[in-house]
């Protein structure tokens, strides 16, 4: 009952800010909002950017790629020489080359897959200036691509889709930074740590326990980690650590931060294309999946843990508490992990690897749908638009008419680009999982035996291919294979979708608008929404069902067998 109330409160909060934040973002990216003009002007002058001048999709894409490569290099360099840099009270050594490369790719692609434990590996400077900076920038890149694609749909006969530098800077300055500034204070007030002093050693005379407790600038990273759907935490335990996520209130607040921008972008979309109902249709699809996936996971986790039952604890009235925190319990934990996997965030407040087979499968299958429920910051929006275009094409085939989306004719070129954007992720995930299963150093990293071991590898590549970063963390993936191949998965999963999306934005922007006729398929209707749900489900199920059958389903139906 509390779970239902919690979801209701969450949705009321999201509904209230959906319109406000969505309209604000539309104003920011159309240049109407100017309250931070003083800060923004000098940056444009420094860069030599004329904010009103647009870029073609090729120039936009090239700017984005070059910027991401430079970000990668800088992040890599900081990690490699962190031992020589200031703010290293824990005397952390330089990060090894393969791990630094993997981590840099991971944070630049908004994945935040972590092959390291923060408290044992990263200096404060690396956490602040290498990793958290990318949490801002990669998030702003994500929204920029979504906005560029929306402009492609709303511009008519135009050769430009906006200016990457302006979109990047406005995203950080107007949206991410102000919200993070406030959110950090909320986290600290509830008990999160925010200090530059090093670890502290404490002694308790009652039980004669001595502990060394690592600390750091945690809360400032926590805010952007969630808001930017990044997910990379300061500590290895991520959102389970009381220093990152101290109370049930910060738990719900985190969930809100994850969902706020991805959901609100549907309003931004509606406003920019001149019909809020178009945005509502996409929002409806996202919410449909999100509610079902959350509900099933909560129910599954309230069930008993098979291994704990086998050990003799027959009455598990609370549910599966393995890997879950006492203050959150089952429902709040399941909500957090589903919200974070469905937004490509990947932060966890409980061990994903220890979820029941069905609970773990919901997180996994949600990612397999392509991260559109609602998906990551910006990435959820541009990916669902690719699905939306595939859907009008399929609907067009049924009635034998050239399909249109928002007045733009969808022809061979658009369909090729949309299909490429939709299919690159499943191909990356399945091929790399297949390769991993025959490489000894990859299968040797498995912690849990039996079908669950296969799930660990499938989950790793699904997570990285979707730029999620969540993990079945039993997998010891800090080795050469996972550092290199994982980086390939993250890079393809990010730019393999971004480039077709921008190309699509370019070709759509150049088109004129076909006036709607009686034969036009309405894309703001419930019928269209159901079709879109069907397409997302069919694409996901057809590609991934066999893999799910070998992993979580085999585990669920192993009828009490332990491995």
Q: Which residues within the stretch 384-403 sit at the binding site for other proteins (CB under 8 A)?
A: none
Question: Which CB atom, from 217 or from 346, has the smaller least distance to other proteins?
Answer: 217
Based on the shown chain and the rule CB under 8 A, indicate whether residue 38 belongs to the binding site for other proteins: no
Based on the shown chain and the rule CB under 8 A, indicate whether residue 12 belongs to the binding site for other proteins: no
Based on the shown chain and the rule CB under 8 A, indicate whether residue 329 belongs to the binding site for other proteins: yes
Question: Which CB atom, from 172 or from 282, has the smaller least distance to other proteins?
Answer: 172
> Which residues between 235 and 264 bind other proteins (CB under 8 A)?
235-237, 240-243, 246-249, 251-252
Based on the shown chain and the rule CB under 8 A, indicate whether residue 357 belongs to the binding site for other proteins: yes
**From candidates 38, 46, 412, 438, binder to other proteins by CB under 8 A:** 46
Question: Which CB atom, from 248 or from 279, has the smaller least distance to other proteins?
Answer: 248
Q: Of 263, 262, 274, whose CA–CA distance to 408 is shortest?
A: 274
Based on the shown chain and the rule CB under 8 A, indicate whether residue 168 belongs to the binding site for other proteins: yes
Q: Give the integer Cα–Cα distance in Å for 86 and 71.
A: 20
Tokens 């990669």 sit at which residue? 138
Q: Give the integer Cα–Cα distance in Å for 54 and 66.
A: 18
Question: Which CB atom, from 185 or from 439, has the smaller least distance to other proteins?
Answer: 185
Based on the shown chain and the rule CB under 8 A, indicate whether residue 5 belongs to the binding site for other proteins: yes
Q: Give the integer Cα–Cα distance in Å for 470 and 92.
A: 25
Q: Give the integer Cα–Cα distance in Å for 78 and 197.
A: 20
**From candidates 162, 214, 270, 426, binder to other proteins by CB under 8 A:** 214
**From candidates 139, 193, 417, 492, binder to other proteins by CB under 8 A:** 193
Question: Which CB atom, from 115 or from 391, has the smaller least distance to other proteins?
Answer: 115
Report helix, strand or coil for 409: strand
Based on the shown chain and the rule CB under 8 A, indicate whether residue 53 belongs to the binding site for other proteins: no
| Other residues' Cβ atoms within 10 Å of the Cβ of residue 309 | 15
Q: Give the integer Cα–Cα distance in Å for 213 and 201.
A: 6
- Least distance in Å: CB of 313 to other proteins? 6
Cβ–Cβ < 8 Å for 500, 417: yes
Question: Which CB atom, from 142 or from 451, has the smaller least distance to other proteins?
Answer: 451
Based on the shown chain and the rule CB under 8 A, indicate whether residue 200 belongs to the binding site for other proteins: yes
> Which residues between 400 and 459 bind other proteins (CB under 8 A)?
447-452, 455
> Which residues between 290 and 309 bind other proteins (CB under 8 A)?
305-308
Q: Give the integer Cα–Cα distance in Å for 2 and 6.
A: 6
Based on the shown chain and the rule CB under 8 A, indicate whether residue 332 belongs to the binding site for other proteins: yes
- The pattern of x and - marking residues 536 through 555 that bind other proteins according to CB under 8 A reads -------------------x
In b/e form, how buried is each residue of 27-55, taking b as 16+ CB within 10 angstroms? ebbeeebeeeeeebeeeeeeeebeeeebb
Ordered DSSP codes for 497-517: HHHHHHHHHHHHHHS--PPP-
Q: Give the integer Cα–Cα distance in Å for 99 and 82.
A: 13
Helix axes 276-301, 357-368, angle to 10 degrees: 160
Question: Which CB atom, from 38 or from 202, has the smaller least distance to other proteins?
Answer: 202
Cβ–Cβ < 8 Å for 294, 339: yes
DSSP state of 173: I
> Which residues between 472 and 501 bind other proteins (CB under 8 A)?
472-474
DSSP state of 116: S
**From candidates 106, 109, 138, 220, binder to other proteins by CB under 8 A:** 220
**Stretch of residues binding other proteins (CB under 8 A), selected from 232-240, 395-403, 406-414, 518-526:** 232-240
- Least distance in Å: CB of 251 to other proteins? 7
């Amino acid at each position: 009952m509390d779970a239902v109330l919690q979801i209701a409160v969450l949705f009321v909060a999201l509904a209230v800010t959906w319109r406000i934040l969505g309209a604000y973002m539309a104003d920011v990216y159309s240049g109407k909002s100017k309250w931070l003009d003083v800060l923004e002007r000098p940056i444009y002058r420094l860069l030599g950017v004329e904010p009103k001048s647009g870029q073609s999709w090729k120039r936009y894409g090239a700017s984005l790629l070059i910027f991401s490569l430079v970000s990668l290099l800088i992040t890599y360099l900081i990690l490699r020489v962190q031992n020589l840099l200031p703010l290293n009270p824990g005397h952390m050594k330089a990060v090894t080359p393969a791990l630094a490369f993997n981590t840099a790719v991971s944070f630049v692609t908004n994945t935040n897959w972590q092959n390291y434990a923060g408290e044992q590996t990263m200096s404060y400077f690396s956490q602040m200036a290498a990793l958290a900076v990318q949490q801002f920038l990669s998030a702003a890149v994500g929204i920029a691509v979504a906005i560029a694609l929306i402009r492609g749909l709303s511009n008519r006969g135009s050769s430009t889709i906006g200016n990457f530098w302006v979109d990047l800077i406005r995203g950080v300055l107007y949206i991410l930074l102000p919200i993070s500034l406030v959110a950090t204070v909320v986290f600290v007030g509830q008990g999160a740590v925010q200090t530059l002093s090093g670890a502290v050693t404490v002694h308790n005379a009652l039980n004669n326990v001595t502990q060394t407790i690592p600390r750091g600038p945690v809360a400032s990273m926590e805010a952007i980690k969630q808001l930017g759907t990044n997910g990379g935490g300061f500590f290895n335990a991520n959102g389970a650590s009381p220093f990152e996520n101290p109370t049930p209130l910060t738990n719900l607040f985190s969930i809100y931060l994850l969902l706020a921008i991805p959901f609100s972008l549907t309003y931004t979309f509606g406003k920019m294309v001149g019909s809020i109902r178009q945005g509502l249709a996409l929002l409806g699809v996202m919410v449909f999946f999100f509610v079902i996936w959350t509900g099933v996971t909560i129910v599954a986790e309230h069930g008993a843990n098979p291994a704990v039952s086998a050990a003799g604890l027959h009455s598990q009235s609370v549910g599966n508490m393995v890997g879950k925190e006492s203050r959150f319990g089952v429902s709040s934990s399941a909500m957090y992990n589903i919200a974070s996997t469905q937004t490509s965030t990947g932060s966890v407040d409980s061990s994903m690897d220890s979820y029941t087979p069905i609970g773990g499968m919901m997180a996994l299958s949600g990612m397999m749908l392509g991260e559109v429920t609602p998906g990551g910051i910006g990435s959820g929006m541009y990916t669902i638009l690719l699905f939306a275009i595939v859907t009008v094409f399929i609907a067009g085939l049924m009635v034998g008419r050239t399909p249109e989306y928002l007045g733009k004719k969808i022809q061979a070129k658009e369909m090729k680009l949309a299909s490429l954007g939709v299919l690159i992720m499943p191909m990356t995930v399945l091929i790399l999982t297949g390769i991993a299963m025959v490489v000894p150093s990859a299968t040797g990293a498995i912690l849990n035996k039996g079908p669950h071991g296969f799930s660990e590898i499938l989950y790793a590549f699904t997570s990285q291919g979707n730029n999620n970063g969540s993990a079945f963390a039993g997998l010891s993936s800090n080795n050469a294979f996972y550092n290199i191949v994982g980086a390939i998965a993250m890079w393809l999963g990010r730019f393999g979708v971004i480039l077709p999306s921008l190309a699509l934005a370019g070709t759509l922007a150049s088109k004129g608008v076909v006036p709607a006729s009686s034969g036009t398929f309405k894309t703001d209707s419930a019928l269209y929404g159901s079709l879109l749900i069907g397409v997302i489900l069919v694409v996901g199920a057809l590609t991934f069902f066999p893999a799910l059958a070998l992993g979580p389903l085999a585990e669920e139906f192993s009828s009490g067998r332990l491995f």
